[in-house]
Structure 1
Amino acid sequence: MGLRVVGAGFPRTGTTSLKAALEQLLGAPCYHMREVFVRPDDAAVWRDAYAGVMPDWHRFLGEYAAGVDWPVSWFWRELSAEFPDALVLLSRRESPERWYQSMDQTVLEGARRLMRGDSRRPPTLVDITPEQARAKEEMIQALFGGAFEDPFDRDSVIAAYERHLAVVRASVPASRLLEWQPGDGWQPLCAALDLPIPDEPFPHENSTADMRARMNDMGGQ
């Protein structure tokens, strides 16, 4: 199939809503961190990719038409080179401070526990083996340790987010790059993909409250 959209945005930038929207627009699955919860073998693939051992992207992501959120967006350079016709979608929040507030209360909270050596496992939606659980922990540690110089320091995390936005903007040709915020809805996506705008509201999913509740339900707290 080949990716038509390569997400380059950090988590907590509307990526769950984008997943739903892109699946509707493209008629095919969109890869998101949630996929690792139901495809536990994928964690080892992403962990190894972070270490420099890249998979066959066309085979690994063969059933997907798009990918957003980590771990896909961590590899936006590799994937945008592998799929040169794909749109690079840089999702962001209206301000770095609003992004940090959402990230701090959800994703970072769980990652920090893992980095502190908390014995509780990261949440999952299916039964996994000890090897799969270890690979998932190593993947998360690699992602967050690589992204943030100090995941416990607010200013350091915000600075990393702002640097990431600047690097993507400077690296991707304007003709291929779409910046998108959760309030932008269908129009920019449909224009960039040359698709009609659906006659229904844009999906809005995975609020901070929703994610915290899910973390509790999945044993993430």
Structure 2
Amino acid sequence: MALKVIGAGLGRTATFSLKFALEHIGLGPCFHMSEVFAAARRNVPLWLDVAAGKPDWETVFDGFQSTTDYPACTYWRELADYYPDAKVVLTTRDANSWFDSVSETIFSERMQGSLRGTPQEKMMQGAVYAPFGDKIANRAFMTDWFERRNQEVIDMLPPERLLVFHPKQGWEPLCDFLGVAVPDAPFPRVNSRDELGEAADEQGGLPPDPETMETFARAYIDELKIKAFAA
């Protein structure tokens, strides 16, 4: 199954909302970092191969019609080349707001420290942190990189293939871009910054054991999906 939609937006740019939206309009399942962890024993080795320069995209995205969030967004350029018919959606937000969000969640010591010494940490180092490395806590560097990186996506893709999008815009621009009907449902809203923090507090971070991680991640996805459409 070839990808039809590639999410180029970085994590913490409403990528969970986009995942649920794409699935709701028939372009799912949608790959997301949560899906990596929900099948960690299968997916982490595949992404380690990607980070090592040996991607098997057909296997990585087997069964998925779309993707958003890390780690796939790191490889938006490669995926756009590999799936030339896929549309690209760039979710974005204010750079300082993004830095605050990633610093308190996915890039925090609370989250990543719990993975230290595991294959998951190695995957994150190669497929997520590689562009900025030890600058991860440097606000000036990270916000500048965020803006330059997003502009590069805009500059490199033809306008007819790219949608720059924020969920506050609702269904219309997304559905018009993808050529699907606007659903009779509220656009999914996910406050995953708070939800992820609460879940991590309960666990003491992310579960380092892959089997436990899978259970945790699948329950997290299911819980967020219910809340996303509750309004």
Q: Say whether the fold is shared (TM-score over 0.5).
A: yes
Q: Is the 8 A contact 2:14 2:91 kept in 1?
A: yes
CA distance, structure 1, for counterparts of residue 25 and residue 49 of structure 2: 31
Give 1:182 shift: 2.6
Q: 1:3 to 1:218 in 2, by over 3 A?
A: farther
User: Which residue of structure 2 lines up, in the alignment, with residue 108 of structure 1?
Assistant: 107
TM-score, normalised on structure 2?
0.82
Q: Percent identity?
A: 34
TM-score, normalised on structure 1?
0.86
Q: 1:157 to 1:197 in 2, by over 3 A?
A: same
Which of 150, 159, 165 lines up with 1:180 in the alignment?
Answer: 165
Give 1:211 shift: 1.6
The 3-state SS of whatever aligns with 1:139 is helix
CA distance, structure 2, for counterparts of residue 33 and residue 49 of structure 1: 14
Q: Is the 8 A contact 2:50 2:127 kept in 1?
A: no
The 3-state SS of whatever aligns with 2:163 is strand
CA distance, structure 1, for counterparts of residue 127 and residue 140 of structure 2: 18
The 3-state SS of whatever aligns with 1:89 is strand
CA distance, structure 1, for counterparts of residue 169 and residue 62 of structure 2: 29
- How many pairs align? 204
Give 1:143 shift: 3.3
Which of 197, 204, 207 lines up with 1:219 in the alignment?
Answer: 204
Q: Is the 8 A contact 2:22 2:30 kept in 1?
A: yes
User: Which residue of structure 1 lines up, in the alignment, with residue 127 of structure 2?
Assistant: 143
User: Which residue of structure 2 lines up, in the alignment, with residue 54 of structure 1?
Assistant: 55
5+ long unaligned stretches in structure 1: 123-132
Q: Is the 8 A contact 1:7 1:90 kept in 2?
A: yes
Residue type matched to 1:108 in 2? Answer: F
| CA RMSD in angstroms, aligned pairs only | 1.8
* 1:85-100 pair list within 5 angstroms: 85-93=85-93, 95-100=94-99
1:164 aligns with 2:164: no
Give 1:16 shift: 0.5
Farther off after superposition, 180-189 or 195-204: 180-189
Residue type matched to 1:139 in 2? Answer: M
1:42 aligns with 2:43: yes
